[in-house]
Amino acid sequence: MKQEITIALDAMGGDHGVSVVVPAALSYLRTHPGQSIILVGREDTIREHLPGKGSLPDGLSIHAASQEVGMDELPSQALRRKKDSSMRVALNLVKSGEADACVSAGNTGALMATARFVLKMLPNVDRPAIITALPAVNGRTWMLDLGANVDCSAEHLFQFAVMGSELVSVVDDVAKPRVGLLNIGQEEIKGNEQVKGAHELLRDAALNYMGYVEGDDIYLNEEVDIVVTDGFIGNVALKTSEGVAKMIRGNLKEGFSQNLLTRLSALFALPVLKGLSRRIDPRRYNGASLLGLRGVVVKSHGGTDALGYAHAIDIAAKTVRADIAARIEEGVTRHLETLRKPA
């Protein structure tokens, strides 16, 4: 039983626009025959990046959109002035049912605001959250929110935990993903009010809640599948991790290119270095899901290449196949009921 899935791509979004999105779409369709992709954007620009510039390959179609959302454009402006943007039109296709999901590498704030406006939120979910998987000693750990919400209440954090659990149980095929709540280690001044409140809610809920975790647990704790935090902290943790990894990679590169001897040693070390490089390759983790919406929306990193973008398409397809939105709706309602029950 193979389901045909149609994914709308915001072809103009991201730092590299069509030059990344079109090759990613072609590569995805080659490896996933029978699936469909709609490229949304300026038709002439899109066609320029297609091979042969003539007929479209099987499964690929183009849907015209005359505008683009700038990477630095304010979400409110994009919402008001860009009604025919590739981003907005791609989301409209999800709303109308012509597409099952939308992938965009465009401006996160605008994507979040437009997706919320076009698709609306699920009932009982107050705010959307952004979630992604990160490489970890236990394979991978998911973290949310990554920047959609800067000030979160205890209830918001609780909803993130529920949404994350539903997603991860499906995508990683684990019955009860283990949830940790990001906090700092000091007793007494431990946590702020929101985190303490979320801790109470999570303890009483029917989730597989493991308690507080700290920053290093994201990567080193084998007992946790999902780390829940607010968008400001999640975003800082994500960017900080990227910074450390890049610095170390740079240091290794510099070290190995110092002189003839180190360059020679790099040749010997190459298999190991490549293995590491592959393991922490951000392209293999590209694709953050916007949870809490009535529809599947995946954000690709703005600067990724075709390999990374294709990974984001794959995440969108998996999410559709698992019917995540319906599961989250059901999950949030169920967990809220558990909470309301007297002990």
Residues 12-71 that bind a copy of itself (CB under 8 A): none
Mark the segment that binds a copy of itself (CB under 8 A) among 13-21, 118-126, 215-223, 307-315.
215-223
User: Does residue 3 belong to the site contacting a copy of itself (CB under 8 A)?
Assistant: no
Using the rule CB under 8 A, which residue among 44, 80, 187, 342 binds a copy of itself? Answer: 187
User: Does residue 279 belong to the site contacting a copy of itself (CB under 8 A)?
Assistant: yes
Q: Could you identify the residue written with the tokens 């969108």?
A: 316
User: Does residue 212 belong to the site contacting a copy of itself (CB under 8 A)?
Assistant: no
User: Does residue 237 belong to the site contacting a copy of itself (CB under 8 A)?
Assistant: yes
Using the rule CB under 8 A, which residue among 10, 100, 217, 225 binds a copy of itself? Answer: 217
**DSSP character at residue 258:** S
Mark the segment that binds a copy of itself (CB under 8 A) among 19-27, 153-161, 189-197, 204-212.
189-197
User: Does residue 310 belong to the site contacting a copy of itself (CB under 8 A)?
Assistant: no
Q: Take residue 19 and report the two structure tokens written for it.
A: 């030059």
Buried b / exposed e across 42-60, counting CB within 10 Å, b at 16+?
A: beebbbebbeeeeeeeebb
Rounded CA-CA distance 19/305 in Å is 9
User: Does residue 241 belong to the site contacting a copy of itself (CB under 8 A)?
Assistant: yes
Pattern 68-87, binding to a copy of itself, x per CB under 8 A? Answer: ----xxxxx-----------
Q: CA-based angle 225:169:299, to the nearest 5?
A: 80
Rounded CA-CA distance 294/128 in Å is 10
Q: Which residues inside 245-274 make contact with a copy of itself, applying CB under 8 A?
A: 245-248, 250-252, 255-256, 258, 261-262, 264-266, 268-273
Question: Residue count at the site for a copy of itself (CB under 8 A)?
Answer: 72
Minimum CB distance to a copy of itself smaller for 57 or for 255: 255
In whole angstroms, how far apart are CA 171 and each of 87, 133, 138? 25, 10, 16
Q: Which residues inside 105-124 make contact with a copy of itself, applying CB under 8 A?
A: 107-109
Q: Which residues inside 124-183 make contact with a copy of itself, applying CB under 8 A?
A: 135-137, 147-151, 182
Q: Take residue 78 and report the two structure tokens written for it.
A: 């994009």
Q: Could you identify the residue written with the tokens 């493991």?
A: 210
User: Does residue 218 belong to the site contacting a copy of itself (CB under 8 A)?
Assistant: yes
- Hey, which residues does 9 pair with through a beta bridge? 39, 103
User: Does residue 223 belong to the site contacting a copy of itself (CB under 8 A)?
Assistant: no
- Which helix (DSSP H) or strand (DSSP E) does residue 113 occupy? helix 108-119
Using the rule CB under 8 A, which residue among 35, 85, 159, 229 binds a copy of itself? Answer: 229
Per DSSP, the residues of 39-54 read: EEE-HHHHHHTSGGGS
Rounded CA-CA distance 302/226 in Å is 24
